[in-house]
C-alpha cells in the first residue's frame, strides 16, 4: 500500500502522510483475513478491529520514527526505508495479535 501511495502521491503528499494512509488502508484490507483465516476469531467485528488497529498503530509509530531517521539522517531512499521498517514490525505485531487482539478466551487463566 505504501509503494502504491508513494507512486500516486509522490511530490503531492509527504512520505509520512502516505505512511499513515497506507497503514489505515492495509489494516482495513487485512483485518478480515486475519480474523477469519489466521486466528479464527469470534470477537465482534468493531471490538476486534479496534484492538487490531491499536496494534497497527504500534507499527505506524515505528514507521513514523524509523523512516525519518533512515531518510533524513542516513539519506536512505524512501522506498528502501519503508522496506527496512516493514522488516522489523511483523514479529512484534504477530505476537501482539496472537496474545491480545485475537486471544482465545478458552485459554485465558481462571482466577483462583
**pLDDT at residue 111 in the model:** 47
Percent of the chain with pLDDT over 70: 92
**pLDDT at residue 104 in the model:** 64
Q: Of 21, 23, 24, 41, which Cα lies nearest the Cα of 32?
A: 41
**pLDDT at residue 112 in the model:** 41
Distances (CA, A) of 73 to 10, 59, 66, 80, 108: 20, 20, 10, 14, 44
The Cα–Cα gap between 57 and 97 comes to: 12
Q: Supply the mean pLDDT for the chain.
A: 85
pLDDT at 25 exceeding the cut of 60: yes
Q: Which three cell numbers stand for residue 44?
A: 465482534
The Cα–Cα gap between 28 and 64 comes to: 19
The Cα–Cα gap between 67 and 16 comes to: 8
User: pLDDT tens digit string along 50-70?
Assistant: 988 988 898 889 889 999 999
- The answer to whether residues 82 and 60 touch, using CB atoms and an 8 Å cutoff, is no
User: pLDDT tens digit string along 85-112?
Assistant: 888 877 778 888 888 888 765 444 444 4
The Cα–Cα gap between 42 and 64 comes to: 32
Amino acid at each position: 500500500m505504501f509503494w502504491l501511495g508513494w507512486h500516486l502521491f509522490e511530490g503531492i503528499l509527504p512520505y509520512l502522510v502516505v505512511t499513515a494512509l497506507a497503514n489505515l488502508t492495509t489494516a482495513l484490507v487485512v483485518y478480515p483475513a486475519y480474523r477469519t483465516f489466521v486466528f479464527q476469531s469470534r470477537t465482534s467485528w468493531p471490538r476486534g478491529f479496534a484492538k487490531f488497529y491499536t496494534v497497527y498503530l504500534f507499527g505506524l509509530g515505528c514507521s513514523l520514527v524509523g523512516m525519518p531517521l533512515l531518510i533524513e539522517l542516513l539519506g536512505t531512499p524512501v522506498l528502501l526505508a519503508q522496506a527496512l521498517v516493514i522488516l522489523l514490525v511483523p514479529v512484534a505485531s504477530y505476537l501482539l495479535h496472537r496474545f491480545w487482539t485475537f486471544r482465545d478466551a478458552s485459554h485465558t487463566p481462571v482466577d483462583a
